[in-house]
Structure 1
Amino acid sequence: MEPQSSMKKKTIGGLLWSFGDLVGNQGIQFLIQIILARMLLPEHFGLIGMILVFIALSNSLVDSGFTQALIRERNASQTDYSTVFYFNFLIAVLIYWVLYAAAPSIGRFFDEPQLVQLVRVLSIGIMINSFAVIPKAMFAKEVNFKVQAKINLSSSILSGLIAVGLAMAGYGVWSLVLRQLSMNTIQSLLFTLSKKWMPSFVFSVTSFKRLFGFGWKLLVSGLIDTFYTNVYFLIIGKQYSTAQLGYYTNASRFSEIVSQNLAATILRVTYPVLSRIQDDNERLKQSYKNITKLAAFLIFPIMVGMAAVGEPLVLLVFGEKWLPMITYFQLLSIAGMLYPILALDLSIFQVKGRSDLYLLLEIINKTSLTVLLAVAIVLDLGVIGLIVAAILNTYLEFFVNCHFSKKEVAYPAKEKVRDLLPTYLLSLGMGGVVWTLGEMLEMPVFFQLTIQVTAGIVVYVTACWIANVGELKTVYKLIMSIPSLKNR
């Protein structure tokens, strides 16, 4: 087993590079999104939103759960990697032709003829992405996120410049399509060149059966989760106007910049690290507990704060034509509070090899969401009602996950609530202060936003210091471990 000091060093290094990737890559993508939102119409983003569920489901099918299986595999061989590569590429090609043939039906479903060509072009990225699956898995297995951060940043900048140039030239929605395709191409090319890996001319049925035996349940779970993550685009695109879907699409992406991307950052570092100590139950529980508390300490105040400053933030970033997205953005920010915690809960089942429980939980949690969505649709509660259904379901999901995870890591709901409640309450209190301050201020939105954000940071850090929240010290030590700061 790897020494604890070495594993800790890799974890910290991975977190720092992953956080750098989050700030740099997502910051660039966010900046490009702002520029494009000011140049294009809500309807353009709505058209892309209608296609997202099909593209997202296709990418999940291509992965087939093999990435997590390879990362968890302690001694993955060249044969294993080659087998997965050929299978992924074959599935990607098949899916592309299915979507190509289904494009007219998708256009008729949404009553948008433009979707036919948009689907056929955008889905090319599915095949392109399949080339990067193995290099990404290798880097993740090595806890090497430095290279990934550089590649993601480079692809975001280059594809963003392409999209802005096309938008300026009047290409409208096609600037969004070609932005995604160029990003897929640049990422796949750079990952392949950086890893210098090529598949061997071998396909092992034995390797396939072993890896798929673990991965198929994750595949089904991933498909269910991906469908429900994107089902809002499907419902809103069918039931409401393209413009409303455009408002929701940007509100969703805006709120997810923090919640889902921070969750992904934490998971892609902690999963390979926790997989190495999967058989040491006491050590696994303590590490899992510490990561959960740290994730909550970071994500709770950010999401609450984003909701509190939603109005000046949207006005400053997107402009007045995007005013209808403010309420969507605020509610989606609240809905995203628990997302990293829920993702961590599910990842522990992967670490313990319980992909059966992972699948069972997806079925249970998505069944409850289906019921809540059905109620919102029948009562005609609109887009806001659909989002409120998602908020309620996150809390139900939290307690369901806790019930099952306590058997694997002995971390029951009562203990987890006790660990997270102080941060949760302090975050809500801080949000209340920030929102009230915004209601009192009458000044240009930039200055209002600056004052609110500064006040929020001061209030939260001070409250955590007074309450003696341990994660405050952890974050301070993590920051001071950065070499450039350490040597000062």
Structure 2
Amino acid sequence: MPARDRPVALESRADTGFKARGVRGFLWTGGQTLVNQTLSLLGFVILARLLDPHDYGIAATANVFVIVLSTLAAAGYSQTLVQKSEVDQRDYDTTFWIGLGTSSVLAVSLCIAAWPLADIYRQPQLRPVLQVLSVALVFVALGSVPQAILQRDLGFKVLARVSMFANVAATIVGISFAFLGFGVWSLIVQTVLSLALSSAGATWRSGYRPGKQFDPTRFKGLFASSRHFMGVSLLSALNGRTDDFLIGAVLGPVALGIYSVAYRILTVLVEVFGTTIQRVAFPVFSRLQGDKQRLMTAYRSAVRMGALVGMPVFIFCLIAAPEIVQVVFGPQWAKSVPVMRILCLFGAQQVIFSYNGALMQAVGRARLVFRMGLASTLLQVAAFAVAVPFGIKWVAASFVIRAYLTMPIWLSTVAKSIGTTVWATLRDIAGPIVSAAIMLCTTFLAEPSLDGLSATIRLVLLGLIAASSYLAALLLCARSVVFEAISYARVLAPSKSVA
């Protein structure tokens, strides 16, 4: 193989075992997330066909508060346990009891706040939905420490199996509720049951049992680190949910329901290709934080793989948005197509650079991540506030504009932290980006010839055209990245694996 085509990855024999565990972690976590999101999307699709935008807007409004409070319930303790070089039972117990106490207080507070919130939104149905969902906050805290233990051990296979089982069971129950006519409550039951089963499964498989070794002095040290992780997570939640809050408050539940359908596709894809990567990358990067050269190599390789796999998915969704919405959700949600197309531009960027936060936190710069996230969130909230009177398309556009404006700052900060350059990072992903652009042009030119066919057939044919053109372009423009992906696949072969 020519030198210029040789993949730049974790190639030394000493790294092979660690690399194999990281790759398997990504595959298991990615598989878990794909199954979970597919099942969740299935339940969502059923609800979207059974509910009108107003009803679904009520559920989306409730989720804004629950997701933000769930971040506070988790409080960043699990990331701290994963990032620390040494932990013991006293750390685990202190974290568990503090987290459980915090989540219980938040759950009770949400139950009480449900009354005024329902009055503020002038939606009486919001009250019981919020009160039932408050139980989810307790389950988040119960599973936090067991999941951190499994992540420290790179036990992604175990976490994947637990999460898959929980989501399969919860989705079956949720769909059953939908067919029985429970409407929006099928989604609420599915959410709470999934968290409960995930928490129970992680506790069982991790072997952790809460003890009495609570130590206030340990809590001070844990909180000193976890507050930055919590701040980053909270800012991320606010970034992703302020739009829902403002749309629901200003434009009403119908507009929020339409926006939520478009946003759902983005959520599924970002979760599969972005959040999955972050979950594996953080513990892997944490193990490499003392070796800057290996860390830089791992980061740049991860960015290339993110671009290779994620970029064409979002570009295809941008092209085929009308067919996807009609086939998956039904023609009654056609107004969500323009919003979905705009949001796909954000997803294409997010899936490539979703490692940035995980890398910065892994090297102990969570405070800087928090400060940058705070500035980004303030900018985003201001953009949402300006855009929301003009409609949901402008809200989506403000989301994308903010992401691209802040991207150079993130790239520069990360590059300095690991001893590389922004240009090197951009050069790494140039091949997949050009290949995705060729795919976009090819599919766009072929689209008019498919007029007159059913939406399902058009979607299938567009997928085939996009896949074939992207693969052909990769072989011409990004051969080295393709070989790198193949090298990761070879690591999984039994003859190459290191126990």
TM-score by length of 1: 0.95
Question: Following the alignment from structure 2 to structure 1, what is the Cα–Cα distance between the partners of residues 461 and 268?
Answer: 22
Does the 8 A contact of 1:293 with 1:471 survive in 2? Answer: yes
Moved over 6 A (4+): 484-487
Question: Following the alignment from structure 2 to structure 1, what is the Cα–Cα distance between the partners of residues 263 and 472?
Answer: 31
Q: CA deviation at 1:481?
A: 4.5
Is 1:470 equivalent to 2:480 in the alignment?
A: yes
Question: Following the alignment from structure 2 to structure 1, what is the Cα–Cα distance between the partners of residues 496 and 269?
Answer: 27
Question: Following the alignment from structure 1 to structure 2, what is the Cα–Cα distance between the partners of residues 49 and 153?
Answer: 24
Does the 8 A contact of 1:342 with 1:397 survive in 2? Answer: no
Q: CA deviation at 1:101?
A: 1.3
Question: Following the alignment from structure 1 to structure 2, what is the Cα–Cα distance between the partners of residues 128 and 65?
Answer: 15
Is 1:56 equivalent to 2:77 in the alignment?
A: no
**After the TM superposition, which residues 408-487 of structure 1 pair with which residues of structure 2 at under 5 Å, given as runs?**
408-442=417-451, 443-483=453-493
1:28-78, CA deviations, whole angstroms, 9 ceiling, x for partnerless residues?
222222222222222222111111221111111111111111001122111
Task: Report what 1:327 is aligned to.
Answer: 338
Is 1:42 equivalent to 2:53 in the alignment?
A: yes
Question: Following the alignment from structure 2 to structure 1, what is the Cα–Cα distance between the partners of residues 165 and 386?
Answer: 44
Is 1:146 equivalent to 2:164 in the alignment?
A: no
Does the 8 A contact of 2:89 with 2:213 survive in 1? Answer: no
SS at match of 2:354: helix
**One-letter amino acid matched to 2:429:** L
Q: CA deviation at 1:460?
A: 0.7
Does the 8 A contact of 1:434 with 1:452 survive in 2? Answer: yes
1:66-91, CA deviations, whole angstroms, 9 ceiling, x for partnerless residues?
11110011221111111100000000
**After the TM superposition, which residues 367-386 of structure 1 pair with which residues of structure 2 at under 5 Å, given as runs?**
367-377=378-388, 380-386=389-395
Does the 8 A contact of 1:278 with 1:284 survive in 2? Answer: yes
**After the TM superposition, which residues 384-395 of structure 1 pair with which residues of structure 2 at under 5 Å, given as runs?**
384-395=393-404
Question: Following the alignment from structure 1 to structure 2, what is the Cα–Cα distance between the partners of residues 478 and 24?
Answer: 22
Percent of matched pairs sharing the same residue: 22
Which of residues 123, 128, 133 in structure 1 aligns to 2:144?
133
Unaligned residue ranges in structure 1 (runs of 5+) = none
Does the 8 A contact of 1:28 with 1:153 survive in 2? Answer: no
Q: CA deviation at 1:212?
A: 1.4
Task: Report what 2:275 is aligned to.
Answer: 264
SS at match of 2:485: helix
Alpha carbons of structure 1 residues 258 and 115: separation in structure 2 relative to 1, 3 Å = same
Q: CA deviation at 1:261?
A: 2.9
Alpha carbons of structure 1 residues 108 and 129: separation in structure 2 relative to 1, 3 Å = same
Q: CA deviation at 1:340?
A: 3.0
Question: Following the alignment from structure 2 to structure 1, what is the Cα–Cα distance between the partners of residues 445 and 250?
Answer: 35
Does the 8 A contact of 1:132 with 1:191 survive in 2? Answer: yes
1:144-196, CA deviations, whole angstroms, 9 ceiling, x for partnerless residues?
11111112211112111111111122111111111111112211122222223
1:110-149, CA deviations, whole angstroms, 9 ceiling, x for partnerless residues?
1101111111111111112211111111111111111111
Question: Following the alignment from structure 1 to structure 2, what is the Cα–Cα distance between the partners of residues 439 and 410?
Answer: 48
Question: Following the alignment from structure 1 to structure 2, what is the Cα–Cα distance between the partners of residues 342 and 452?
Answer: 27
Task: Report what 1:104 is aligned to.
Answer: 115
Question: Following the alignment from structure 2 to structure 1, what is the Cα–Cα distance between the partners of residues 236 and 282?
Answer: 18
1:196-243, CA deviations, whole angstroms, 9 ceiling, x for partnerless residues?
310111211232122211111121222122112101110111111312
Does the 8 A contact of 1:308 with 1:432 survive in 2? Answer: no
Is 1:166 equivalent to 2:174 in the alignment?
A: no
**After the TM superposition, which residues 34-433 of structure 1 pair with which residues of structure 2 at under 5 Å, given as runs?**
34-377=45-388, 380-433=389-442
Size of the alignment, in residue pairs? 484
Question: Following the alignment from structure 1 to structure 2, what is the Cα–Cα distance between the partners of residues 155 and 117?
Answer: 24
Q: CA deviation at 1:427?
A: 1.3
Q: CA deviation at 1:482?
A: 4.4
The alignment yields a C-alpha RMSD, in angstroms, of 2.0
Higher relative CO (Cα under 8 Å, sequence separation at least 6) belongs to 2
Unaligned residue ranges in structure 2 (runs of 5+) = 1-12
**One-letter amino acid matched to 2:214:** F
